[in-house]
Amino acid sequence: VSNAGVGMAGPLECQSLEAMQSLMDTNFFGLVRLVKEVLPDMKRRRGGHIVVISSIMGLQGIVFNDIYAASKFAVEGFCESLVVQALRFNVAISLVEPGPVTTEFEAKLYEEAERADYSRTDPETADIFTNLYLRNSKDVFASLGQSPEDIAEHTLRVIEAARPPFRHQTNVAYTPMAALKHADPSGALMTDAFYKLVFKYDAVLRLSLR
């Protein structure tokens, strides 16, 4: 089970390349290093199961989570490319894709975001992040957040499955969001829906979450 991960949220201009590279080294290359270690022996034994804790953000990018989403997209592409070869050797690969999970990880991330310096971006972007994104995120976590124990139970079900799934989403509330991309390959439907959700109907969103 590959579960190591770090988060990053905020305006792109306010994040250093060094921090981005560090995140990718943990979230993506950490997984790559692990798989390189365990896969050869699994192939020799013609049996094994690699379970990767990914994220719904590996399927759908979320505003102000550019680099974190990129790392999870990389995880998803890596596993999707590898799974067919692995199956030839009777090795299963599964992606567990949670939405928001209420942990100290998230609490620390948002505490740091509230104290961060946003002078390197324009005032409008800083205002959108602090007064729209952070406020809405707290409501999302309070309303839709799962516990670590819940994610562990989902992961256990994937491990114990007779035919392990390649993808397993833990929160049904996010299934429609992920489905928007498949409904319209041009991306217009998804982009329009998220734009309106963030900038036109944010008050409705907060009310519905509460």
> How far is Cα 54 from Cα 158, in angstroms, rounded to an integer?
13
> How far is Cα 106 from Cα 94, in angstroms, rounded to an integer?
24
Whether the predicted pLDDT of 209 surpasses 60: no
Q: How far does Cα 192 stand from its chain's mean position? A: 21
CATH architecture for residues 12-209? 3-Layer(aba) Sandwich (3.40)
User: Would you state the pLDDT for residue 71?
Assistant: 98
> How far is Cα 18 from Cα 40, in angstroms, rounded to an integer?
32
Structure tokens at 71: 């790392």
User: Would you state the pLDDT for residue 101?
Assistant: 87
User: Would you state the pLDDT for residue 87?
Assistant: 97
pTM for this predicted structure: 0.89
Domain ranges of the chain: 12-209
Residues 120-143 have a mean pLDDT of 85
**pLDDT tens digits, 36-80:** 999 999 999 999 999 999 999 999 998 999 999 999 999 999 999
> How far is Cα 86 from Cα 130, in angstroms, rounded to an integer?
44
> How far is Cα 117 from Cα 97, in angstroms, rounded to an integer?
31
User: Would you state the pLDDT for residue 204?
Assistant: 60
Report whether 99 contacts 174 (CB < 8 A): yes
Residues acting as catalytic residues: 68
Which stretches of 28-171 are assigned E, i.e. beta strand? Answer: 48-53, 91-97, 167-169
Name residue, tokens 């590996």.
Answer: 58
Residues 4-24 have a mean pLDDT of 94
Q: CA 147, 151, 156, 161 torsion: positive or negative?
A: positive
User: Would you state the pLDDT for residue 202?
Assistant: 67
- Burial pattern 72-94, b for ≥16 Cβ within 10 A else e, equals bbbbbebbeebbeebeeeebbbb
